[in-house]
Structure 1
Amino acid sequence: MSDSNTTNFTNPSTFILLGIPGLEVAHIWISIPFCTMYAIAILGNFTILFIVKREPSLHEPMFYFLCMLAVTDLVMSTSTVPKMLSIFWFNSREISFSACLTQMFFVYSFSAMESGILVAMALDRYVAICHPLRHSAILTNSVVAKISLAVVLRSCIFTLPYPFLARQWPYCRTNIIPHSYCRHIAVVNLACADISISSYYGLFNLFSVNGMDVFFIAVSYTLILRAIFHLPTKDAQLKTFGTCTSHLCAILALYIPDFFSSLTQRFGRNVPRHFLVLISSVYLLVPPVLHPIIYGVRTKQIRGRLLQLFFS
């Protein structure tokens, strides 16, 4: 299908992804950091999964949640980056309507799962620091499984309206998406109808899911800091707070790019389009790349096991 195809249609069989509009001549150069980051994400997250599986001492709630985080990172990046690279390398820009909606669902549902997992990890840190003697009794394997299931179900339920809303609109102008993946707002903007409900739902989802997660994390850390400040010595305070630094870095790696990307997409009217698309595309790779690095460097058990694998 030609890029210039703007004939009338109500149910497009395919969409055309432009990649980074305005930077087409630089696609090959842009692909280099994207490919490098994707390779690091794949290698790093598989390494986390391998180490936790192989090391019995890591079979505890914190590392179960870390494995969930690794899986969501792998799925989220793999659902978008291979298609991006095919656009950058081979100019393969067509994507079927159903595949586009499926990609949309995976991106948003697994992004929401990451947020939920960080809340679960905040709960684990709260119990470990505020109720250390009851940690194993409170966060049993059964409780961890129920929390994990709740995170998955919540993410799927809140994400389902995205593809359903996108499917119901009539697309009668063009099937060209000025983006590198099927971002919800980029797709529904092609509709020749009032898409206010899609835009409002996107904002509702951003603040009700991520916003509430940030709130619960903030409450957890308020209680954690209060417990830390009641410790008798400064060394004990620093040592205890040090167990939270990996989680705090993971939180920053997810939420700062997420809120920046979402808000600039909606309100950055004077920002060049290629910059907005580039930022939202890079955002999908920032958490998957940083999470294994953060936990590999900051978590003593994983760092020790990793060194043991390479030097034993």
Structure 2
Amino acid sequence: EIMVLSSNITRIHNFFILGFPGLSPSYYSPASAVLFLVYLAILVGNIFILVFVIYEKSLQKPTYLVFCHLALTDLSFGTVTLPKIISKYWFGNSIISFYECFTQMFFVHYLGSVMSFLLLVMALDRFIAICVPLRYPVLITNNIIFALCGSAWFLPLPLMMIIIFQALSLPYCQSNIITQCYCDHISITNQACGNDRKIAQIVTLCIAMFCLLVPLAFILISYVSVIIVILKMSNSAGRSRILATCTPQIFITCLFYLPRCFVYIANLVGFSFSVDVRILLILLYSLLPAAVNPIIYCFKTQEIKHTLIKRIKVAKIGI
């Protein structure tokens, strides 16, 4: 619904989530089923990690507390983005109110920024554990991890508020169709008019680059330092053991950053995607890590894996 004002500026009351423009209606049910299964995987996997670490006192250590914060972020992101697009394809409900769309946009960008800073905390944890192991019990405690993770949740908040208020202040005079599976800044501000739209998009891009590239720079430096330390070790068994402790973190970090970097670089060199492929890529790099991360925690982290196997054996004996 669009209300036309006397100044030729329209006030949008609702947006329509378009999803995949090229998707035939005959594929709406399979698409909704796939998205529902992805959401189910995100829910089950991340809730399991949260409950398992909270329940297992032996796992309440800095590294696994960071995993809990990552799981909470993934769970929140899936819950913010997927139900609306599932209802669009399942029930034909494409309408999202103006302020609901802005709320979704806020959480999409906020949770992505929180994830980026949490990955920085995770890299810091591994850097200190491997590069200065004797100082690790002093420098990295549960309380310090809580403070660092709390900072990761707080730091993006004022930056996201700037983005939201700037977008809300824009006059909207284009269509009210969101060519995406959820409301994001580009999709919404593309419906705005006037020169202020470009300013808002540039400011948002700068904030996004800060939230992504500053943590990424530290992460790269820390993991390069860790790899150098591992390569200098003379004991091959020790090398393998320490490398195994870093593998989950490296996988999780690559899943988050590599697809984003690929899309940004492709756009930079002028390689264009079709709208449907672009939306699919955004969905993949947004939601695939949230669904896959719990599997990485369980099967690539030795302590979680051994604790889980022990619990399963005890349960079988109990039966």
Answer whether TM exceeds 0.5 for this pair: yes
| TM bracket, shorter-chain basis | over 0.9
Secondary structure, aligned partner of 1:51: helix
Secondary structure, aligned partner of 2:310: helix
Aligned pair 1:22/2:22, yes or no?
A: yes
User: Could you tell me whether the CA contact under 8 Å between 1:20 and 1:274 is conserved in 2?
Assistant: yes
Secondary structure, aligned partner of 2:10: coil
Partner of 1:10: 10
User: Which shows bigger deviation, 21-30 or 249-258?
Assistant: 21-30
Q: Quote how far apart the aligned CAs of 1:148 are.
A: 1.4
User: Could you tell me whether the CA contact under 8 Å between 1:185 and 1:199 is conserved in 2?
Assistant: yes
Q: Report the TM-score, using the length of structure 1 for normalisation.
A: 0.92
Change (3 A) 1:245 1:208: same
Partner of 1:252: 254
Q: Quote how far apart the aligned CAs of 1:83 are.
A: 0.5
User: Could you tell me whether the CA contact under 8 Å between 1:264 and 1:276 is conserved in 2?
Assistant: no
Partner of 2:114: 113
Partner of 1:139: 140
Q: Quote how far apart the aligned CAs of 1:240 are.
A: 1.1
Tell me, in whole angstroms, the C-alpha distance in 1 between the residues paired with 2:77 and 2:241: 34
Change (3 A) 1:128 1:24: same
Q: Give 1:287's aligned amino acid.
A: P
**Aligned counterpart in structure 2 of residue 203 of structure 1, from 205, 214, 219:** 205
Secondary structure, aligned partner of 2:96: strand
In structure 1, runs of 5+ residues without a counterpart are none
Tell me, in whole angstroms, the C-alpha distance in 2 between the residues paired with 1:171 and 1:269: 30
**Aligned counterpart in structure 1 of residue 278 of structure 2, from 253, 257, 276:** 276
Q: Quote how far apart the aligned CAs of 1:231 are.
A: 1.6
Tell me, in whole angstroms, the C-alpha distance in 1 between the residues paired with 2:238 and 2:180: 49
Number of aligned residues: 309
Q: Give 2:60's aligned amino acid.
A: H
Q: Give 1:203's aligned amino acid.
A: L
Tell me, in whole angstroms, the C-alpha distance in 1 between the residues paired with 2:81 and 2:312: 31
Secondary structure, aligned partner of 1:80: helix
Q: Give 1:258's aligned amino acid.
A: R
Secondary structure, aligned partner of 1:284: helix
User: Could you tell me whether the CA contact under 8 Å between 2:3 and 2:11 is conserved in 1?
Assistant: no
Change (3 A) 1:159 1:261: farther
Aligned pair 1:66/2:67, yes or no?
A: yes
Superposed CA deviations along residues 225-261 of structure 1, whole A, max 9, x for unmatched, are 2221232222221221111000000001111223344
User: Could you tell me whether the CA contact under 8 Å between 1:104 and 1:162 is conserved in 2?
Assistant: no
Q: What does 1:47-196 align with in structure 2 at a 5 Å threshold?
A: 47-194=48-195, 195-196=197-198
Tell me, in whole angstroms, the C-alpha distance in 1 between the residues paired with 2:272 and 2:234: 53
**Aligned sequence identity (%):** 31
In structure 2, runs of 5+ residues without a counterpart are none
User: Could you tell me whether the CA contact under 8 Å between 1:6 and 1:173 is conserved in 2?
Assistant: no
Tell which has more relative contact order, 1 or 2 (C-alpha 8 A, sep 6+): 1
Tell me, in whole angstroms, the C-alpha distance in 2 between the residues paired with 1:266 and 1:160: 28
Aligned pair 1:304/2:298, yes or no?
A: no
User: Could you tell me whether the CA contact under 8 Å between 1:6 and 1:175 is conserved in 2?
Assistant: no
User: Could you tell me whether the CA contact under 8 Å between 2:123 and 2:222 is conserved in 1?
Assistant: yes
Q: Give 1:231's aligned amino acid.
A: M
Q: Report the TM-score, using the length of structure 2 for normalisation.
A: 0.90
Change (3 A) 1:266 1:166: farther
Partner of 1:34: 35
Tell me, in whole angstroms, the C-alpha distance in 1 between the residues paired with 2:270 and 2:179: 16
Change (3 A) 1:91 1:198: same
Tell me, in whole angstroms, the C-alpha distance in 2 between the residues paired with 1:223 and 1:271: 36
What is the aligned-residue RMSD (CA, Å)?
Answer: 2.0
